[in-house]
Amino acid sequence: MSDSKKPQSNQEMPMEQRLMLAFGLMIVVLGGTSYFMPKPEPPAEPAKPPVKAVETTPAPAPATPPAPAPKPARATKSVAAPPAPVTKIAAAAEQSHVIETDLYKVTFHTTGGVIRSWILKRFKDSKGSPLELVNTKAGALGYPLQYSFHLPQTADPYNAAGHQATLSPDRLGITFEYRGEGWHGRKAIRFEQGSYIAQVSSELTIAGVPKPHLLTWRGGFGDFSVVGAASQQKNVYYLTNEGSLILKTADTAEKEPQSNRGRFDFAGIADGYFAALAIPDPNRDFELHTFQDKTANHVDGKTDPFPGMAIGGDTVNKFVFFTGPKDTDLLRRISPKLENLVDFGYFAPIARPLFLSLKWLNDSYIRNYGWTIVIVTVLINFLLLPLKLSSMKSMKQMSSLQPEIKKIQEKYSGMSMKDPRKANQNQEMMDLYKKHGINPMGGCMPMALQIPFFIAFYNVLSNAIELRGAPWLWVPDLSRLDGYYILPIAMVATQFWMQKMTPATTTDPAQQRMMLLMPLMLGFMFWSVMSGLVLYWLTGNVVGIIQQWFFNRMAQKPAAAAVPVSPTKKK
């Protein structure tokens, strides 16, 4: 299922990769080796057993007494009884039905018996409008709760049929049914007041034979008003036996839809802050199909690859359906396994304590996540102070050796890199470092050891629903960019200031110019990222400036007292 022409993707580089690239460039400039963290391979997916259509065998006809012997002169011809007429069930006309709870406003349509709109009433999108979870620009791909079959079979004719809708007396549930053209389908969903879970069921027969099928949610899911929405959306499932969270991006289904079947604790689709998940019977196999749905985004109208899903796989599907925020407390109350949906990435052992510290400090004392970020950042910087002092000391020692290093470089200047004598330059440099007890990587390694803390903090800020919509001073939402760009500009300025205060570790003018360009490079990378992350970095810069100022004062040697010299009297 891939087009002959592949539209260009307008997704931005994920922020976690930006951070790794930024630190990698900084360490290379300082002379260290690049820091890489190989992405762990996902656990092997369970093999998908072939899905077989369930065939029914007609019951044998009851025994009948032998008929009287026919008369020899005349033969009788048996005539089959005409089939009983099938009553067609369908919608008399196209209709929309709205079910509203204190948390949801869901709009259904009789054509296909689908969901046209699913609004979370307690959340807004980045433009301040009610949060719509259905991609309204992806109608050509179909709407949630459409039927889907295993390829190459298509369910399009059934999805175009008008389903008869029946609302429950309390208007918290709706059932869709259609019978005609040899098939009979029924879908039902029921909500609860004050709950983000619903009960979903579906069944389907074709020509009287039960038909395995799935229910779809195509064109992505979540907040479509943000920049790069497609890159933040993924299909997810959690294996019961292996205990592993598997993420499926739209790119995994670029050539053809991907199918996974197994015993899942949950399976569905999610973005950074919200999720739509089926919670099936863990003792039965369940299916999740992943699609790449190329459709226009809501920011600039360009085509992006969004993930789409289909869930179910049985002739009769029944599951609990969670649709709501990825709030760890809420998820834990529904099912302890759901808490794993909040994925803090590679550095989860660091990110989870950071998240718990932020949440506890904010809820217990500060009541503002902006100031909570500032305080936690100050604490982190003081916890890392031994590493910073080691880095500052190493850089100061390297700075004091620059005259001798320059002499060695001038001694071997003009020699080709292929000249065997060129190797002597590195040896003399290492001997110089050894003589003064200096590790040339001492200024880089402490910075490399801080990278996990920066990435972990980014993962906390980009996954914690508590940060979404949290204001601070002029910033209305710490999970979005600063519309006035005050934070990015202040970050670049403080980074440049701290760079000027740091002792130079090289006399090479080209390298010095590169070091001065580093703040601009970082500013470019962080120009459009979430305000909470920029606030974290800015606070770290301010603390670093103060620490560097104290270190520079302590490192200054007291000037020797001037000894007065009596002028020599001429005779």
Q: pLDDT tens-digit profile of 83-122?
A: 556 789 999 899 999 999 999 999 999 999 999 999 999 9
Tell whether 281 and 373 lie within a shared domain: no
pLDDT at 130: 95
Query: Does residue 481 sit within a domain?
Result: yes
Tell whether 326 and 359 lie within a shared domain: no
pLDDT at 448: 72
According to DSSP, the residues that pair with 294 across neighbouring strands are 305
Tell whether 328 and 372 lie within a shared domain: no
Residue that wins the pLDDT comparison between 229 and 388: 229
Query: Does residue 94 sit within a domain?
Result: no
Query: Does residue 453 sit within a domain?
Result: yes
Tell whether 254 and 369 lie within a shared domain: no
Question: The tokens of 407 are what?
Answer: 């002499």
pLDDT at 452: 84
Residue 470, judged by CB atoms within 10 A of its CB (0-12, 13-18, 19+), counts as: buried
Query: Does residue 542 sit within a domain?
Result: yes
**pLDDT band at residue 37 using 50, 70 and 90 as cut-offs:** very low
Q: Tell me the one-letter amino acid at 410.
A: E
Residue whose structure tokens are 């052992």: 349
pLDDT at 54: 34
pLDDT at 238 over 80: yes
**pLDDT band at residue 26 using 50, 70 and 90 as cut-offs:** low
Residue that wins the pLDDT comparison between 14 and 304: 304
Q: How many domains does the chain have?
A: 2
Q: What is the residue-averaged pLDDT of the chain?
A: 81
Tell whether 513 and 444 lie within a shared domain: yes
Tell whether 112 and 212 lie within a shared domain: yes
Q: Tell me the one-letter amino acid at 60.
A: P
Query: Does residue 407 sit within a domain?
Result: no
Tell whether 167 and 221 lie within a shared domain: yes
Range of 164's domain?
101-343
Query: Does residue 5 sit within a domain?
Result: no
According to DSSP, the residues that pair with 276 across neighbouring strands are 269, 323
Share of the chain above pLDDT 90, in %: 50
Q: How distant is the alpha carbon of residue 293 from its chain centre?
A: 17
Max mean pLDDT range (287-291, 297-301, 382-386, 441-445):
287-291
Residue 404, judged by CB atoms within 10 A of its CB (0-12, 13-18, 19+), counts as: middle
